[in-house]
Structure 1
Amino acid sequence: MAVELMADDDSDLETVAVVPALPGHGESFHHALDLVARERKYLSMLEAPPLEQTLQFMMGCIERGDPRFVAVVGGEVVGWCDITRHDWPIHAHRGTLGMGILPQYRGRGLGRKLIDATLAQAHEAGFVRIELSVHSDNARAISLYGKAGFVMEGLQRDAVYVDGEYRDAIMMAIVERENATG
């Protein structure tokens, strides 16, 4: 799916393709992951793992059929959304959502396109529960998740410690039992 996004200065259009993640996106995804992580605000990591580790994780997710989409501009990943299925059999109906978008592409509807595509694939794959954790000071993400159907399930006090500051984390989930296969 291609999405037309306005440039920051509203002077020209940019085409962003939201597509399933493929092995060829690995290095570009790693770069985007590292950029967002180094902002030290949104992810559970402060920098991306080494490239080889990131590629192995990504390939494992693709091979298992975990829902995974990337937003691409000019061949470069500018955002992603993925759901990683839990490993243990009694938790295999569940997955954890993770996503990130490069700063210059935020606030322009791309997050919603990514999350909608990923949730649709999760629905087709029979996920019953999709969960996530979001920093309590990330109002934009909390709003996006709410609009996508996630509900707040709880608060983890002082769950994050970055640069000498504690932050709470909000636990959110979507539960769709009609997806149950067993």
Structure 2
Amino acid sequence: MRPEFIESFREALDSVSRERRYLSLLEAPPLEATKDFVMGLLEKGNPQFVALVGDKVVGWCDIQRGTRETQSHRGTLGMGIVDGYREQGLGKRLITTTLDAARAMGLHRVDLDVHADNTRAARLYEKVGFQREGVARDAVLIDGHYIDLIKMAIIF
């Protein structure tokens, strides 16, 4: 990730969010908030990678390290792939690159939440070494439908 990709990243995040299926966001935050998020990750050295087609972001993966001293050994992963670019191996390349960077920075644990009905993503996470740790029942409400979240983590 580089600062010049922030607007395109926000557009990709917004596109995936508005599908109302994969993320627990219904739309991307405003551009300024997105800039603050990205620049905060970059300034702290958190792993953050994007997949580009030309100069257009079509996928991303980031890990935000815990801010408290007692949780600085762990990070939380977020990722998404824009519709039309899924099922091409892009997600696996993004997540393995990001996990390698997390290992290199000394993280011990990375966790994530995945919508229980997003079986494709859950399979990907398991393929790269994540294990299921539990389920948060009815944790997300989108369009009047409750969705369970699967809690997953990988330990290095």
TM-score by length of 1: 0.85
Letter in 2 for 1:40: R
Q: Aligned residue for 1:26?
A: 6
After TM superposition, what 4+ stretches of structure 1 lie above 6 angstroms from structure 2? none
How many residues end up aligned between the 2 structures? Answer: 156
Give the distance between the partners of 1:144 and 1:122, measured in 2 at CA: 18
1:96 to 76, 85, 91: 76
Shift of residue 162, structure 1, vs aligned partner? 0.4
Q: Aligned residue for 2:87?
A: 107
Q: Aligned residue for 1:55?
A: 35
Q: Aligned residue for 1:148?
A: 128
Q: Aligned residue for 1:4?
A: none
Give the distance between the partners of 2:63 and 2:92, measured in 1 at CA: 15
Shift of residue 175, structure 1, vs aligned partner? 1.0
CA RMSD of aligned residues (A): 0.5
Q: Aligned residue for 2:50?
A: 70
Q: Aligned residue for 1:166?
A: 146
Q: Aligned residue for 2:110?
A: 130
Give the distance between the partners of 1:86 and 1:50, measured in 2 at CA: 23
Q: Aligned residue for 1:180?
A: none
Give the distance between the partners of 2:23 and 2:119, measured in 1 at CA: 14
Shift of residue 86, structure 1, vs aligned partner? 1.0
Q: Deviations over 1:107-144 (max 9, x none)?
A: 11000000010000000000001000000000100000
Q: Deviations over 1:67-108 (max 9, x none)?
A: 000000011100000000111110011100000000100011
What secondary structure does 1:103 align onto? coil
Letter in 2 for 1:59: M
Aligned-pair identity (%): 56
Give the distance between the partners of 1:23 and 1:84, measured in 2 at CA: 17
Matched, 1:117 2:97: yes
Q: Aligned residue for 2:23?
A: 43
Structure 2: give runs of 5+ residues left out of the alignment: none
TM-score by length of 2: 0.99
Shift of residue 44, structure 1, vs aligned partner? 1.6
Which of structures 1 and 2 has the bigger CA Rg? 1
Give the distance between the partners of 1:88 and 1:77, measured in 2 at CA: 31
What secondary structure does 2:67 align onto? coil
Q: Aligned residue for 1:14?
A: none
Q: Deviations over 1:126-179 (max 9, x none)?
A: 000100000000010000000010000001110111001011110000012xxx
